[in-house]
Structure 1
Amino acid sequence: MKNCVLCKDELKPEEGQLIWRGDDCRIILVNDPDLPGFCRVIWNRHISEMTDLTPGERDHLMTLVFAVEEAIRKVMNPDKVNIAALGNMVPHIHWPKTQQTLGVNVEARKQLAKDLPSAIKSAIAALS
């Protein structure tokens, strides 16, 4: 889809940091001081709905989402982690915590630790 904010490869520093990129998905640590630990697991190919993915692709995506959640819980010890799926802003697989943000998101409610990116990379590497 043209002009899809989730399809673009380049991130401005104020948008976030690319933590990991695989053949099918990528993980972005969002730069938002109001949402520490807010990550997006984004399917690389433009897909509107989870049911547009094969069952194996869905399993792969959710495995990554849960790996990110585990890394956030380990590093940040949050009171609660929210995982939500919305698609009301852009027709691309989204899991935002709020309607103002896009992608597959895991949001923790405590101060972001500096070593979260490496913890996420380690969690993804452990899946192999």
Structure 2
Amino acid sequence: MNTTAISTPDTSCPLCQDKNEHVLWRNDRLRVILIDGTDFPGYTRVIWNKHVAEMTQLSAPARSEVMGIVWRVEQSQRDAMRPDKINLAQLGNQVAHLHWHIIPRWRDDTHFPESIWASAATRSDAQRRAWDARQGEIIDALPAYCALLKESLDSMLTPAR
């Protein structure tokens, strides 16, 4: 039987803590944070607040809520930043706490077409300069993305329990 797990925070888990996070939106079950300081502007995480490791530890309505928020993040990224692709990942191998990575990608970013966790792709000086310029434009779009995402998430009607 799959029920929403009730657990106490794990003091060794970095995702049980919400210190020094750029929180874009939260409710009592989860939070949405912007990952600052990466080469991947707009990189966002959706984090379940209670310490559970797997989606199947949540009730069906809670799983639907998580995925609904992941999809709203993706749509907001597409609308505000116009990436070439969006990567969704729910790994948890390093930190066994339920969270989703929503990562906008561009064909000329430092790692494309590989995962952001792979080694950076070999790029010419001209390609690096082009990415630097484009990255600046994407960073300029972040406030619009954050506002659009907040509006989208605030409009959600039925919270899961």
TM over 0.5: yes
Which residue number in structure 1 is paired with residue 12 of structure 2? 3
The CA RMSD measured in Å over matched residues stands at: 1.3
The match for 1:79 is: 84
1:73-100 per-position Cα deviation (integer Å, ceiling 9, x unaligned): 0000110011011011011013xxxxxx
Alignment partner of 1:56 is 2:85 = no
SS at match of 1:107: strand
Query: Retained in 2: the 8 A contact 1:37–1:109?
Result: no
The structure whose Rg is larger is: 2
1:45 aligns with one of 43, 50, 74: 50
Aligned with residue 122 of structure 1, among 142, 148, 151 = 151
Structure 1: gaps spanning 5 or more residues: 95-103
* Alpha-carbon separation, structure 1, partners of 2:31 and 2:70: 11
Kept in 2: contact 1:32–1:38 (CA 8 A): no
Instruction: List structure 1 segments (4+ residues) > 4 angstroms apart after TM superposition.
Output: none
Which range moved further: 65-74 or 25-34? Answer: 25-34
Aligned length in residues? 115
| 1:108 paired residue among 96, 99, 104 | 104
Residue range with higher mean Cα deviation, 108-117 or 28-37? 108-117
> Is the helix fraction higher in 1 or 2?
2
> In 1, distance between residues paired with 2:87 and 2:152?
18
User: Normalization by structure 2: what TM-score?
Assistant: 0.67
**Runs of 5+ unmatched residues, structure 2:** 1-9, 107-137
